[in-house]
Amino acid sequence: MAAANTTSPAPASEQCPVPHGGDHHGFRPFAMKDPFPAYAELRREEPVMFDERIGYWVVTRWPDVRAVFEDWETFSSENAQAPVRERSAEASRIMKEGGFTAYSGLSARVPPDHTRIRAIAQRAFTPRRYKALEPAIRENTRAALRAMLAHPEGKGDFLRDIAYDIPTITILTLLGVDPAMVPTYKRWSDSRAAMTWGDLADEEQIPHALNLVEYWAECRRLVAQAHEIGGDNLVADLVAAQEAGAEITDHEIASLCYSLLFAGHETTTTLIANSIRVLLQHRPAWEAVVADPARIPSAIDEVLRYSGSIVAWRRRALRDAEIGGVAIPAGADILLVMGSANRDADVFADPDDFDIDRDDARSHLSFGFGIHYCLGNMLAKLQDRIVLEETVAAVPSLRLVDGADIDFGDNLSFRVPTSVPVSWETAS
């Protein structure tokens, strides 16, 4: 593998190869409400565009995105977890004095460390663990649905009432954490997303920096607890593997916790919310899964293609290279827009149509591709399937609230609805 270039990328003014459309083809890096028209224009007009506002090369066509994911020796994941905006001096001081030394569990690591740690982690993500979790996921979903459907006005917010807690309880259970800590972990996770992928002013970073110090301390506590008392959970499994000779350090186990406690629920909450939102926006598809729940798995794959939780991810060029015929200098940062690639008409017929009968939906890139393909994809889809199965059975009359204008939070990578307002028929 080529040695990593540790120097900073050249200034944006030196990197930009050609003038692009003055409005960047409508692309707004942090605006997530409806990025798809801009994605389409980028694919047509400038599929590899340097955006000086963020200092990234923006890549939007499916073959190019997939090729960069696959070529980890040229395009490193080392910047995948780096803050998009530089940390302020005060936030940096808080984190340093608070002992914050967290590093990526897997997504920003490169071989050989990535290969070593992933092999150990995969042994802990066993089918036995998934099977053991399924009854609890189903019962938690039923309880949440009962609580929502008890609203006398026949209205709720599917994001907050259902999707918000279920994946968090699941990942906390998997890692041996008290589910009563859901609100705390959600607060920490919100700060992780804001500090890494958000566009925060210096003063806005301070409360998030304090939260991340707490979050990292909790991850280290979980590893120490597993050494002391063991347990039937993923952290204890990793510690047991270490004690049996596996080459993994306490810091690496804590870093896996830091990643899993975020990625293991944040994107699944969004997947569940988006599944309900998109199916209800396309009523024939909703009626189809109500009539035949066996079609839910294919519907989930189409949701992942059509409206994935993560629409962009990052890489760094380790050497001079080309993407789609465009020269990319060594050290350049790259934004891979999977949300655009998943609607590439050269790969998917009628890509802007939501079609649960599409036979190639699983070619989406929402879980990445190559050696960094999402380790928890099966658990995410399992939870989404259970929630959809229980929902269509319990409330087939579910609809989006009339006139609902669903917004999405500003973020470079995560496309998260701020609410999913729903209504249903109630007994007269």
pLDDT in tens, 373-394: 999 899 999 999 999 999 999 9
Q: 329 near 10, Cβ under 8 Å? A: yes
More confident call, 4 vs 326: 326
Residue 408 carries which DSSP code? B
CA distance 13 to 89: 25
pLDDT at residue 428 in the model: 58
pLDDT grade, residue 20 (50/70/90)? low
Question: Does residue 110 have a pLDDT over 50?
Answer: yes
More confident call, 398 vs 193: 398
The residue-averaged pLDDT of 263-288 equals 95
Question: Does residue 233 have a pLDDT over 50?
Answer: yes
Give the mean pLDDT of the chain: 92
Map 336-392 to HEC letters.
Answer: ECHHHHCCCCCCCCCCCCCCCCCCCHHHCCCCCCHHHCCCCHHHHHHHHHHHHHHHH
DSSP SS3 for 139? helix
Most confident option among 126-130, 226-230, 402-406: 226-230
What are the structure tokens assigned to 219, written together?
Answer: 């991850």
What are the structure tokens assigned to 319, written together?
Answer: 């050497």
What are the structure tokens assigned to 140, written together?
Answer: 């938690």
Q: Which residues pair with 322 in a beta bridge?
A: 327
Query: What is the percentage of the chain residues whose pLDDT exceeds 70?
Result: 95
**Can you state the angle between helices 250-281 and 296-306, rounded to 10 degrees?**
100
Question: Does residue 11 have a pLDDT over 90?
Answer: no
Question: Does residue 115 have a pLDDT over 60?
Answer: yes
Residue 10 carries which DSSP code? P
pLDDT at residue 8 in the model: 36
The residue-averaged pLDDT of 185-201 equals 92
- How many CB atoms neighbour CB 125 within 10 A? 17
305-353 per-position pLDDT tens digit: 999 999 999 999 999 999 999 999 999 999 999 999 999 999 999 999 9
More confident call, 46 vs 123: 46
pLDDT grade, residue 21 (50/70/90)? low
**Which of 53, 36, 34 minimizes the C-alpha distance to 44?**
36
The residue written with tokens 């304090």 in the block is: 210
pLDDT grade, residue 7 (50/70/90)? very low
Q: 62 near 215, Cβ under 8 Å? A: no
CA distance 362 to 358: 9
pLDDT grade, residue 13 (50/70/90)? very low
pLDDT at residue 43 in the model: 98
pLDDT grade, residue 22 (50/70/90)? low
Residue 310 backbone dihedrals phi, psi, to 5 degrees = -115, 120
What are the structure tokens assigned to 231, written together?
Answer: 């347990």
CATH class of 23-423: mainly alpha
Element (H, E) at 13: helix 12-15
23-49 per-position pLDDT tens digit: 899 999 999 999 999 999 999 999 999
**Which of 210, 205, 211 minimizes the C-alpha distance to 89?**
205
Element (H, E) at 323: strand 321-323
Q: How far is CA 137 from CA 83, 144, 160, 306, in A?
A: 33, 11, 16, 25
Residue 151 carries which DSSP code? -
Tell me whether strands 333-336 and 56-59 are parallel, antiparallel or unpaired: parallel
Residue 245 carries which side chain, given as an amino acid letter? G
The residue-averaged pLDDT of 109-127 equals 89
**Which of 15, 84, 20 minimizes the C-alpha distance to 54?**
84
